[in-house]
Structure formats: structure tokens, C-alpha cells
Amino acid sequence: MKLVSRYIEKPHLVLSVVLLMSAVGIIGYVKMPLNLFPDVDRPQISVVTVMPGAAAADIDADLTRTIEKEVSTIDLVRRVTSTSKDEVSVVLAEFEYEKGLDVAATDVANALSRISARLPKDIRPPAIFKISQATQPVMTLALSPKPGYPADLRKIRELADNPIKEELLKIPEIANVEVFGAWQPEIRVTIDPDRLNGFGLSLSDVMAALAAQNQNIPPGLIIRKEGQYIFKTEGQVAVPDELRNVVIGRKDNGTVHLRDVARIESGIQEPQSAYRGNGRDAIALNILRGQTGFALDTIQAAEAALPALQARYPFIDFEISYSVKNLITLSVNNMLKALMEAIVITVIVIFLFLGNLRTTLLVAISIPFTYLLTFAVMWLTGFEFHMVTLTGIILAVIAVEVMPAAPEARGPPDS
């Protein structure tokens, strides 16, 4: 009590600390990240396995149940559900909050490796997907050709899958970029059966030749005193014209090349999806934030990178077809506006009910400082502005301010 009385008599230190923390609170108010809601989803891992040509009943009996039973044995697993369809098995595992998303994905991968020998041999490697609010896109870019330029969606898809995606992934705030919208390029080899039979060859001969000659082979490593030398035989095809010279057979009258029995041309894969952005056919880029990142920071970083991408690819029209920026800023600004209104209403209610000008002025001065101190603590401890934290501030600070004010206004009790 003596220490408290001493500070009350000489409040300069307390006033200095309050002013300092208030300045920190102003900085925190400006720099604190914004989000719509906190990350409250439990860690979820999805295992998708494809078994070409298998019926749903076979998928369930031979594949899904085996994976589901093994995943159920993982520590801190809360619930495991599964879906079996023709050719596709999906197993979804939900874990407790104590289980981190990365740790859960590692445990699921280890579980799959333990049962790999019991799974059917003709399945494709299981794909593991992490599911959380961070895996939901915060922005979608629609890429389409500008009028007057000789570019098509096939070329744009090729650029989006490679240099454009790589440029966006260099930005620290962007964790991943998903490309979709069909128009995936491919090299088509159309075999002429009559010409193939005329050379005494079969389709399997052509497939074997393409598989053998369309790859890079590392023969070995030579170690010398000057250093190490790696040798590589480059056979992978880079352009369609190189396929024309692939040797598919040797006969007494000469060598048979692929161009002798087939037509080679560039094309696109059979579309499995489509995307229309802002009313036009386009290639879509989903922008994802990091697991510990913030949606608004990721959106602002992506928007800042768009002018440079537009200058580098003037024949592509980059448009934002989806963004959560407006929803987040509008919601948070409405809450901050409600916060300001709460201050005014609190001051008015105290004056009307207590009729004490001194108490009213004291509350009117102390509430803003209390908010600034709260913002300072939030910013220093890594909090963010979202619907939950702002609602808690509005309720908590009003309660703290109003409750002590009432006894002071009533004065000391009668003796």
C-alpha cells in the first residue's frame, strides 16, 4: 500500500509509462494485421488415391478400408471419414488441436508407407493434402489474352504454370499458387496404322521407343584430383520437332523414324475443368497465404506484384476475379467504428445516469488511453484484428470503465 501511495503522490513515472505505451498502441493500431476470423479449424489431412478402371466397391474393399484403418491408429486423431467412388478413394482425417498440421501430414505419410505393400499395385501414388483456413485461396487472378495480341489460352497456361507462378512464389507472403482452368499443352502423336503395319511394327514398339529415348540418363560420376565430373545423356524432348527424329525400328532397308508412321503436332489435353473470370474464358491462379500468415498481407503483396507482371507480359490481361480484401476491411472497419461509438455511448450513459461531470470527464479521458494500452499489448504479443478480438475489446473495456465509475459517483457510504 505504501508503494501504491508513493506512486499516487508522484505519478510522473506512471504517466510516462502510460504515454509510452499509448504511443506503442498507436503504432500497433496501424501495423496490426487484419483478418476476418481467427484460425480455429482443427488440423485435417486428406488422402486421395486414384486406381484407374476400378469400381467403387473394389476401391472401398481393397483401398479405402486399408488406408482408413491405418490412419485411425495415428496419435491424437479425432475422426476419420472416407468416400469411395469409381477410380477414386478419399480418406479425411481430423486431428485434435494439439496436433500441428505439418506433424499430422508427416504422420499420415508415415502411415501410408507402412501399408504400401498391402495396397493394390496398379494405384497411383496417394496424394496428401493439408486442409485448414490457410489452404483456402485469399485471391484469384484471371489471366486472359488481350485483344490484338497473337496469344491464346494454351500459351497463357504454359506461362502461368512456369514463370508467372515462380515469380509469385518468390514473394514471402505467398505460400502457394494453384493453377487451373484446363488448356494444358501436350504433344500429340497420331499413328497411321497402315504405314505402321507396312514397316512391320506395332504400337507397343512405338511406345517403347518413346519411353526409352525421351529421357535424360546419368551414366555416372568421374572423380579426379581437379574435381568431380557428372556425365549425363540428354534425350528428353524439348520441342515437338525433336520427336520426329526418334528411331522406332531398324529394318534391312533402313531406319524407321517416328515421322515415317505418325503425325506430330502441338495440342492441349482433354479438358477436365474450365474457368471464366469476369465473364471471359481465362486461366486462374489461386493465391494462398502461409499457415501463420495473414490474408490481407498476402493480398497486398500480390497486388503490388501485378504491375511488374503486366509489364513483363503485355499480351496478358491480369484481372482480380475474387478477393477477400473488401470483406475483411469492411468487417474490421465496421468493428472499429463500433468501438468508437462505444466510447461515445459510454460517456453519455455515465453522465446521464450519474450526473457527475468530474467522473464523466475522467472516463472520457481514460477510455482512449485504455484502448491504446490494449492495442499495445495485442501488437507486442502477436495478436491480430478480427471479429473475435474486437468484440472482446468492446465488451471488456466498457465493463472495466463503467464498473469502477459508479461507486465513485455515488460518493462514500453513509456512516
Instruction: State the pLDDT at residue 169.
Output: 94
Residues 134-152: pLDDT tens digits? 778 999 999 999 888 888 8
Q: What are the angstrom distances between the C-alpha of 317 and each of 65, 141, 142, 156, 176?
A: 47, 10, 8, 10, 21
Percent share of the chain, pLDDT over 70: 86
Residues 192-219: pLDDT tens digits? 888 888 888 888 888 887 777 665 555 5
Domain 2-36+328-410 has CATH 1.20.1640.10: yes
Q: Is the pLDDT of residue 327 over 60?
A: yes
Percent share of the chain, pLDDT over 90: 33
Instruction: State the pLDDT at residue 233.
Output: 47
Instruction: State the pLDDT at residue 409.
Output: 47
Instruction: State the pLDDT at residue 111.
Output: 94
Take residue 367 and report the three cell numbers written for it: 477510455
Query: If you average pLDDT over residues 239-256, what whole number do you get?
Result: 77
In this structure, which CATH number among 3.40.50.300, 3.40.50.620, 3.30.2090.10, 3.40.190.10 belongs to the domain 186-268? 3.30.2090.10
- Asked if the domains 2-36+328-410 and 135-184+270-323 are classified in one and the same CATH topology, the answer is no
Banded pLDDT at 303 (limits 50, 70, 90): very high
Residues 77-133: pLDDT tens digits? 999 999 999 999 999 999 998 898 889 999 999 999 999 989 998 899 999 998 887
In this structure, which CATH number among 1.20.120.350, 3.40.50.300, 3.40.50.970, 3.30.70.1430 belongs to the domain 44-131? 3.30.70.1430
Instruction: State the pLDDT at residue 285.
Output: 94
pLDDT: which is higher, 278 or 93: 93
Take residue 286 and report the three cell numbers written for it: 489461386
Angle between helices 357-380 and 387-410 (to 10 degrees): 150
Length of the chain: 415
Distant-in-sequence contacts of 199-203, Cβ < 8 A, 24+ apart = 199/249, 199/251, 199/256, 199/260, 199/261, 200/249, 200/251, 201/248, 201/249, 201/256, 201/261
Average pLDDT, the chain: 83
Query: If you average pLDDT over residues 16-28, what whole number do you get?
Result: 89
Fold of 135-184+270-323: Alpha-Beta Plaits (3.30.70)
**Of residues 115, 31, 1, 99, the one with CA closest to residue 66:** 115
Instruction: State the pLDDT at residue 107.
Output: 95
Residues 379-391: pLDDT tens digits? 998 888 888 888 8
Range of 272-281, 292-301, 335-344, 357-366 with top mean pLDDT? 292-301
Burial tier of 88 (Cβ tally within 10 Å: 0-12, 13-18, 19+): middle
Query: If you average pLDDT over residues 269-297, what whole number do you get?
Result: 85
Is-above-0.95 flag for pTM? Answer: no
Give the separation between CA 140 and CA 283, rounded to whole angstroms.
10
Q: Contact 206/340 with Cβ under 8 angstroms?
A: no
Residues 400-413: pLDDT tens digits? 555 554 454 445 54
Residues 345-379: pLDDT tens digits? 878 888 888 778 887 888 788 888 888 888 899 99
Q: Where are the domains of the chain?
A: 2-36+328-410, 44-131, 135-184+270-323, 186-268
